[in-house]
Amino acid sequence: MLERMSQLEAEADAALSAVEDAAALEAFRIEYLGSKGKLKAAMAWLKDASKEDKPKLGAGLNVLKQKIEGAFEEKKAALGDAKPHAAKGPAIDVTEPGLPPRTGRVHVLTQVINELVEVFARMGFDVERGPEIEDDHHNFVALNIPPHHPARDPNDNFYIDDTHLLRTQTSTVQIRVMEKTEPPVRIVSLGRVYRPDTHDATHSSMFHQIEGLYVDKDVSMVDLKTTLLQFAHAMFGPEAEVRLRPSYFPFTEPSAELDIKMQVRGVYDWVEIGGCGMVDPAVFEAVGYDPEVWTGFAFGLGIERVAMRRYGIEDIRWLYENDVRFLRQF
C-alpha cells in the first residue's frame, strides 16, 4: 500500500509539472482532486489494509492529499488564477451587436398632460398655474360655495389652519386669473389637487385636474359642447361622442356632467369624464366682471381619469407605484 501511495504521488507530480494552462489545470484537479478523482479512490485502500497498517496508511494519505492540494494551489497562482475559458479567447465577443441601454421615459401622466395642453392650445387656450395651498376665499367664497356648504366639511378637505387648505380643485386658478385680467379670457389651469378620499381603484387623495375657462360676449352652451367635442376627438379618436347630463355645481349654472362614448375593455359605452357648465353670475361678480355683459363656460377634467380611459388602465394606484414593468408600456 505504501508503494502504491508513493507511485500516486509521483504520478501527480509528473502530471502537474506538465500543466501549462488553466484548462489543463482544471483537468488535473478533476482527475486527482475531484469527487471521483484518484486521491478519493485511494482512500478506499484503507479497508483492504491490515489493522496494524491502517494508522500509518491513513496518516500517509492525509499528508499526500495536503501535498497535492498545496502543489495545485501553487500552480494555480503561477498561472495567474486564470479561468478555464481564458485559453479559448476573450469572454466578450466584440463582434456581437450591443444591447441598447434601458433609458428613462416620460411618465404616462406627464404624456397625457402634455397632450391636453397641446389640444387646448390649438383651440386658443393659454396655460395658467396657481398655488396648491389656497385660502378660503379662492377655494370657496369666490366660487359661490357658501359657508355651510357640505364641500367645506373638514372631513372632505386638508385644512392647514382656519383659513388655508390644500386646494380641492384647479378652479381656484380661474378666480386668480379673472381677478387680474380683463375679459375676454381663454385659459386652462392644471395641477395637483387634494381630497381625503379613501384609496381604491378609482380614488386617490392626490390627483391631477385640468380646468378650462372661456369668458367673452355671447358665449353659450353650444360653444362649450363644441369645445368638448373637439377635445374628445383629439384625445380618444374621431369616433368619440360627447354627451352632457344635467347636474349641479355651485360655480356654474346650468351645470352638466360630461360623458364621452368610447371603447373600454371591448365595450363601446358612455363614460363620465368630468363636469362643466356656464359660469354662474355670482362668480363673475366676485371677480368684478359684469354678468350682464360677459358670459362664459368652464369645465373640469380629471387627468388620471383621462389617462385611464385612454389606455385602459384599471387601477389609479398603478400610476403612482413606480413599477417599471407598468411604466414601460407607455
CA–CA separation, 178 and 287 (whole Å): 6
Q: How confident is the model at residue 200 (pLDDT cuts 50, 70, 90)?
A: confident
Element (H, E) at 309: helix 303-311
Say yes or no to pLDDT of 84 above 80: no
Given the C-alpha cell 404624456, which residue does it identify? 111
Element (H, E) at 105: none
What are the tens digits of pLDDT across the range 257-275? 998 876 666 677 787 889 9
Cα–Cα separations (whole angstroms), residue 59 to 4, 29, 41, 66, 71: 14, 22, 16, 11, 18
CA–CA separation, 213 and 243 (whole Å): 19
CA–CA separation, 252 and 275 (whole Å): 10
Given the C-alpha cell 378652479, which residue does it identify? 171
Lowest-pLDDT range of 19-23, 36-40, 51-55, 249-253: 51-55
pLDDT of residue 81: 53
Q: Which candidate, 166, 134, 169, 185, places its Cα nearest to that of 287?
A: 185
- Is residue 27 within 8 A of residue 72, CB to CB? The reply is no
Q: Provide the grid cell at 240.
A: 368619440
CA–CA separation, 8 and 63 (whole Å): 12
pLDDT of residue 3: 72
Cα–Cα separations (whole angstroms), residue 167 to 42, 116, 170, 228, 251: 84, 21, 7, 25, 16
pLDDT of residue 268: 75
pLDDT of residue 89: 57
Element (H, E) at 262: strand 252-264
Among 3.30.930.10, 3.40.50.150, 3.40.50.800, 3.40.50.1820, name the CATH number for the domain at 108-327.
Answer: 3.30.930.10
Domains of the chain by residue range: 2-88, 108-327
Cross-strand pairs, 257: 245, 275
CA–CA separation, 237 and 231 (whole Å): 10
CA–CA separation, 26 and 28 (whole Å): 5
Tell me the DSSP string of 49-96: S-TTTHHHHHHHHHHHHHHHHHHHHHHHHHTTS--GGGGG--SS-TTS
Q: What is the pTM of this model?
A: 0.67
Q: Provide the grid cell at 274.
A: 368630468
* 328 CA to centre of own chain: 8
- Is residue 255 within 8 A of residue 248, CB to CB? The reply is yes
Mean pLDDT, residues 99-115 taken together: 89
pLDDT of residue 85: 47
Mean pLDDT, residues 145-156 taken together: 88
Q: Which candidate, 321, 323, 319, places its Cα nearest to that of 306?
A: 319
CB-facing half-sphere around the CA of 35: CA atoms within 13 A: 0
User: How many CB atoms within 10 Å of residue 106?
Assistant: 12
Positive or negative torsion for Cα 189, 190, 195, 198: positive
Of 150 and 186, the one with more pLDDT: 186
What are the tens digits of pLDDT across the range 41-52? 777 776 777 777
CB-facing half-sphere around the CA of 121: CA atoms within 13 A: 8
Cross-strand pairs, 114: none
CA–CA separation, 51 and 48 (whole Å): 9
**Helices marked H in 136-280:** 136-139, 171-180, 221-236
